[in-house]
A and B are shown apart, each in its own frame.
Chain A
Amino acid sequence: MSRIRKQSEYEKTFAFRFFRWLGGEKDAFVGNMEMQPQKEYVEEEATIEERMKDRKQVIAEAYDDSHNMELRFFNVLYKIFSIVFCVALVFVLILTVSHLPAVGDPDRPTSNIVSETYITDGLKDTGAVNIVTGMILSYRAFDTFGETNVLFIATCCVMILLMIDEDEIKKNKESNDRGFEPKNDVILQVVARFLVPVIFLFGIYIILNGHISPGGGFSGGAMIGAGLILYVAAFGFEKTEKFFNEHVYKVVKVTALLCYGCIVTYYFLTGANGLECLIPLGEAGKILSGGITLPINIFVGSEVACTMYAFYALFRRGGL
């Protein structure tokens, strides 16, 4: 492309200056106009205070029920709707229940072959006199293993929320350990000295006899956990740590869950592949009987005891 005008002539035109400005080569205002860079905005203390006061006032007015009609209307409406909704839900559920088969009716759908088999063949199949334990630990072993994992993951979640650094526990030892409780309460200590061994023994009894009499791992474990909590409450963490600290807790918990998992896996794999389970059922009514129910009860019991104690310790001082 050839230019009609000469370069020097072109430079005088408006178009030349415009395109130069557009391309950012030269700003027409620079030099022709007094320009100052914008000052950085620094807020004075008085303005900050005023702003905060305004903000507070706005919030106070926005949430002021007595003057804010809209909010008051919403609050009333919210209450009415929630009550109506709850009543409606209750009504629907009651109506539903009234249409269900009557309680105690021998022809209920729930009294079918499944429950019958549990009652008639339960002892023969699982070797556990306590049918309930036999049912949850043998027939429905997978559900119960899942349920034990619920406890495990619940402890982990509480740990996420409440666990603090070990150094911090040591630093705040006094205040955390004995916050608002009486220190070395004699009455509590004397009672605990008598009660704790009994509670432990009773818990162990319930766990070991879970397949023979009412009870089992979950209830027995909760008792042992309660005993541990009583001991900590009476004697403090320092004495408890001599036999139950974080290390012991981890070992017991991981061993219990792993052993439980191994037994269950063995049981599933043999069952599904048509192999025989080599764990003997034993003679009904003896302590050493019940096939897999006895070891599982023991492991579930130790897991539950650990969980109970861990909840208490985490809530009290943020660590085990």
Chain B
Amino acid sequence: MDIIRNFPCLSILLSMFTAIICSALKGKGARRLSTLVVGIVGILSAATLFFTMTTGEHYVYVMGHFPAPFGNEIRFGCLEAGMALFFCVIMLLSLFGGRHKIQMEIDLHKENLYYIMVDLLLSSLLALVYTNDIFTAYVFVEINTIAACGLIMITEHGRTIEAATRYMIMSLLGSGLFLIGICLLYDMTGHLLMSNIHESIQAIVADGTYTIPVLVTIALIVVGIAIKSALFPFHAWLPDAYGYSTVSSAAMLSSLVSKGYIFLLIKLIYRVIGFDIFLESKIINVLFVFGLAGMIMGSVNAIKENDIRRMISYSSVAQIGYIYMGFGLGTSAGVVASVFHILSHAATKSLLFVAGVGLTDVSGGHKNFEKLTGAAYRNKMAGVAFTVGSLSMVGIPVFAGFVSKLLFAQAAVQNHSKLLPTLIVLAISTVLNAIYFMKTVIRIYTPVHSKYASVSVKENPVYAVTLICFIVLNIVLGMCSEPITDWIIKGLSLFA
């Protein structure tokens, strides 16, 4: 069993090696190798998850010959391992679901570059999940940002390049704020290792020496990560980036990149700043307010959209708002709900993107609703999958979205001062979600007789199987919510 301890480190290095080898391969070889490696990393993560679940402990893994404060190290418990497994599954499904589009939309001799980006994205996500050192986190945040830019602009037309530029500017602003935060933390504590910083921060707060710097540091780190994960007022880059890039990229960006940052924030809250100190700072109310605003504004913007991809993207803004609202509640139940929403939103949003592309393909590549009328009859599987995704987003029982909404409501009950606004906004947001998702579902199930009947699309079994896997994943998250929440609570208790 001891060999399993090496798996997290090996999975990070393996995906980096794959990226390096892919740069020497042609497109097809790179595709096969990357898909294989994402699968292998998933298996390694599953083994780690099994191992950590059976022992119920967390482990520290020294990266090199020098232990903690001197060298680098990574740390893994059951939450980290489970997150890594989940990210691998979503990435694999997104790659399969958008494979035909990647081949169509990407220049043939640049296809291997796409898979380099994917591999390095995976390695950076794993590193963000496993890291126990804030500077390592920053290095991999950099890799993550550049890889996401590459994923957006690989379909070379003006829209994606503009979107990538916007994404880069906003994302680098976020990285910059995060880096300033790290510098301030280092100046106050003299450490980069999370557990050591945590001890020093507690001593500092007990002494009351650096009150203003601690507050500013928390604000900078939280705002930096909020910008990178598109919390409401900073979401301007999001609809273009998700709406015009190739479908695998959109699915991965919405369900992996932003979620990786949010997981890092959870890690920073629990392992670096400390949950109590984070609670006492006023930042938590700011997150709460912007989370609520995002829930409403994202949905309102989505209702206005006439482009299915951009509508799904705006819905992401609303869902990110839910997650930050969970942090803002300030109870550990709120964080549990947020972590569950990370899972359910990632599974649902990538499903919606992948199903959406099947619908637009049978409508002559048009993304506006008028042309999508009756698309579900032309591509039955995509129609069913889109409906499942929509129902989950709206929060119908059996599907994943219902459980996260229920958890949010339960968490809100524990905090009396924030109970009323949370419940009201949850209700409004659910209605708004229903308006735009049900509008789309009705639209794609409205029959048309003549116009597009001749559009025949080649049967794509890989695509259909991917959609079935997504649906199964969604229903599993919705039905087996109890063991999953138990796992999240256990993982979070290991963080503290």
Q: Which residues of A contact B (CB under 8 A)?
A: 92-93, 95-96, 99-101, 108-115, 117-118, 125, 138-143, 145-147, 149-150, 152-154, 156-157, 159-161, 163, 165, 250, 253-254, 257-258, 261, 264-265, 267-273, 277
Name the residue of chain B whose CB is nearest to the CB of A269.
Answer: B6
Known: A99-B213, A153-B120. 15 other contacts (CB 8 A): A96-B217, A109-B200, A111-B190, A114-B69, A125-B66, A139-B72, A140-B135, A152-B20, A153-B146, A156-B113, A160-B113, A268-B13, A271-B62, A272-B62, A272-B63
Partner pick for A142 among B136, B143, B187, B189, CB 8 A cutoff:
B136
| Minimum C-beta distance from A18 to chain B (A) | 23
| Minimum C-beta distance from B443 to chain A (A) | 23
CB contact under 8 A between A93 and B21, given known A109-B190, A140-B71: no
CB contact under 8 A between A153 and B187, given known A96-B216, A161-B153: no
Residues 183-205 of B, flagged 1 when their CB comes within 8 A of A and 0 if not, give 01011111100000000100000
Question: Would you call A93 and B63 a contact (CB within 8 A)?
Answer: no
Partner pick for B63 among A142, A156, A161, CB 8 A cutoff:
A142
Partner pick for B213 among A100, A117, A150, CB 8 A cutoff:
A100
| Minimum C-beta distance from A24 to chain B (A) | 11
Partner pick for A109 among B71, B156, B187, B217, CB 8 A cutoff:
B187
A140 neighbours in B (Cβ, 8 Å): 71-72, 135
The distance in angstroms between the C-alpha atoms of A160 and B112, with both chains bound, is: 10
CB contact under 8 A between A272 and B186, given known A113-B69, A254-B23: no
7 residue pairs of the A-B complex, CB under 8 angstroms, read A108-B187, A112-B191, A117-B70, A138-B66, A157-B149, A268-B63, A271-B63
Please tell me if B376 contacts chain A, counting CB pairs below 8 Å.
no
CB contact under 8 A between A271 and B66, given known A161-B153, A258-B21: yes
Name the residue of chain A whose CB is nearest to the CB of B2.
Answer: A273
Question: Would you call B190 and A153 a contact (CB within 8 A)?
Answer: no
Question: Would you call A261 and B13 a contact (CB within 8 A)?
Answer: yes
A100 neighbours in B (Cβ, 8 Å): 184, 187-188, 210, 213
Question: Would you call A254 and B146 a contact (CB within 8 A)?
Answer: no
CB contact under 8 A between A138 and B20, given known A93-B180, A146-B136: no
Question: Would you call B110 and A159 a contact (CB within 8 A)?
Answer: yes
Please tell me if B17 contacts chain A, counting CB pairs below 8 Å.
yes
B189 neighbours in A (Cβ, 8 Å): 109
Question: Would you call B65 and A277 a contact (CB within 8 A)?
Answer: yes
| Minimum C-beta distance from A38 to chain B (A) | 15
Please tell me if B314 contacts chain A, counting CB pairs below 8 Å.
no
The distance in angstroms between the C-alpha atoms of A99 and B216, with both chains bound, is: 11
The distance in angstroms between the C-alpha atoms of A112 and B161, with both chains bound, is: 46
Please tell me if B87 contacts chain A, counting CB pairs below 8 Å.
no
The distance in angstroms between the C-alpha atoms of A261 and B187, with both chains bound, is: 32
Partner pick for B64 among A110, A141, A156, CB 8 A cutoff:
A141
A161 neighbours in B (Cβ, 8 Å): 153, 156, 161
| From A101, A117, A160, residue with most partner B Cβ within 10 Å | A160
The distance in angstroms between the C-alpha atoms of A157 and B23, with both chains bound, is: 12
Question: Would you call A110 and B113 a contact (CB within 8 A)?
Answer: no
Please tell me if B46 contacts chain A, counting CB pairs below 8 Å.
no
Which secondary structure dominates chain B's binding surface? helix
A261 neighbours in B (Cβ, 8 Å): 13, 16-17, 20
Please tell me if B5 contacts chain A, counting CB pairs below 8 Å.
yes
B140 neighbours in A (Cβ, 8 Å): 146
Please tell me if B90 contacts chain A, counting CB pairs below 8 Å.
no
User: 4 tightest CB-CB pairs across the interface, nearest first?
Assistant: A109-B190, A271-B65, A146-B139, A142-B72
The distance in angstroms between the C-alpha atoms of A254 and B30, with both chains bound, is: 14
The distance in angstroms between the C-alpha atoms of A284 and B490, with both chains bound, is: 49
The distance in angstroms between the C-alpha atoms of A154 and B23, with both chains bound, is: 13
Question: Would you call B110 and A160 a contact (CB within 8 A)?
Answer: yes
The distance in angstroms between the C-alpha atoms of A159 and B22, with both chains bound, is: 14
Question: Would you call B72 and A143 a contact (CB within 8 A)?
Answer: yes
The distance in angstroms between the C-alpha atoms of A200 and B70, with both chains bound, is: 35
The distance in angstroms between the C-alpha atoms of A92 and B223, with both chains bound, is: 14
Question: Would you call B65 and A109 a contact (CB within 8 A)?
Answer: no
Question: Would you call B13 and A264 a contact (CB within 8 A)?
Answer: yes
B146 neighbours in A (Cβ, 8 Å): 150, 153-154, 157
The distance in angstroms between the C-alpha atoms of A257 and B120, with both chains bound, is: 14
The distance in angstroms between the C-alpha atoms of A92 and B180, with both chains bound, is: 13
B188 neighbours in A (Cβ, 8 Å): 100-101, 109
The distance in angstroms between the C-alpha atoms of A156 and B150, with both chains bound, is: 8
Question: Would you call A273 and B6 a contact (CB within 8 A)?
Answer: yes
Name the residue of chain A whose CB is nearest to the CB of B200.
Answer: A109
CB contact under 8 A between A156 and B117, given known A99-B212, A277-B65: yes
Please tell me if B318 contacts chain A, counting CB pairs below 8 Å.
no
The distance in angstroms between the C-alpha atoms of A163 and B154, with both chains bound, is: 11
Question: Would you call B70 and A114 a contact (CB within 8 A)?
Answer: yes
B213 neighbours in A (Cβ, 8 Å): 96, 99-100
Please tell me if B322 contacts chain A, counting CB pairs below 8 Å.
no
CB contact under 8 A between A114 and B16, given known A149-B143, A269-B6: no
Name the residue of chain B whose CB is nearest to the CB of A277.
Answer: B65
Please tell me if B61 contacts chain A, counting CB pairs below 8 Å.
yes
Please tell me if B465 contacts chain A, counting CB pairs below 8 Å.
no
Question: Would you call A150 and B142 a contact (CB within 8 A)?
Answer: yes
Residues 49-64 of B, flagged 1 when their CB comes within 8 A of A and 0 if not, give 0000000000001111
Partner pick for A268 among B9, B21, B139, B184, CB 8 A cutoff:
B9
CB contact under 8 A between A139 and B66, given known A108-B190, A258-B17, A261-B16: yes
| Minimum C-beta distance from B365 to chain A (A) | 22
Please tell me if B420 contacts chain A, counting CB pairs below 8 Å.
no
Please tell me if B122 contacts chain A, counting CB pairs below 8 Å.
no
Please tell me if B393 contacts chain A, counting CB pairs below 8 Å.
no
| Minimum C-beta distance from B222 to chain A (A) | 14
| Minimum C-beta distance from B371 to chain A (A) | 18
B117 neighbours in A (Cβ, 8 Å): 153, 156-157
Please tell me if B19 contacts chain A, counting CB pairs below 8 Å.
yes
The distance in angstroms between the C-alpha atoms of A250 and B133, with both chains bound, is: 33
The distance in angstroms between the C-alpha atoms of A257 and B18, with both chains bound, is: 11
**B 77-114 contacts with A by CB, 8 A:** 109-110, 113
Partner pick for A163 among B66, B110, B136, CB 8 A cutoff:
B110
The distance in angstroms between the C-alpha atoms of A267 and B71, with both chains bound, is: 12
Question: Would you call A141 and B21 a contact (CB within 8 A)?
Answer: no
The distance in angstroms between the C-alpha atoms of A269 and B63, with both chains bound, is: 8
Question: Would you call B63 and A153 a contact (CB within 8 A)?
Answer: no
A265 neighbours in B (Cβ, 8 Å): 10, 13
Question: Would you call B19 and A149 a contact (CB within 8 A)?
Answer: yes
Question: Would you call A153 and B62 a contact (CB within 8 A)?
Answer: no
| Minimum C-beta distance from A169 to chain B (A) | 12
Name the residue of chain A whose CB is nearest to the CB of B193.
Answer: A114
The distance in angstroms between the C-alpha atoms of A32 and B184, with both chains bound, is: 85
| From A111, A140, A261, A265, residue with most partner B Cβ within 10 Å | A140
| Minimum C-beta distance from A45 to chain B (A) | 27
The distance in angstroms between the C-alpha atoms of A93 and B212, with both chains bound, is: 10
A254 neighbours in B (Cβ, 8 Å): 20-21, 23-24
A113 neighbours in B (Cβ, 8 Å): 69
| Minimum C-beta distance from A161 to chain B (A) | 7
CB contact under 8 A between A138 and B64, given known A100-B210, A114-B69, A160-B113: yes
Question: Would you call B24 and A250 a contact (CB within 8 A)?
Answer: yes
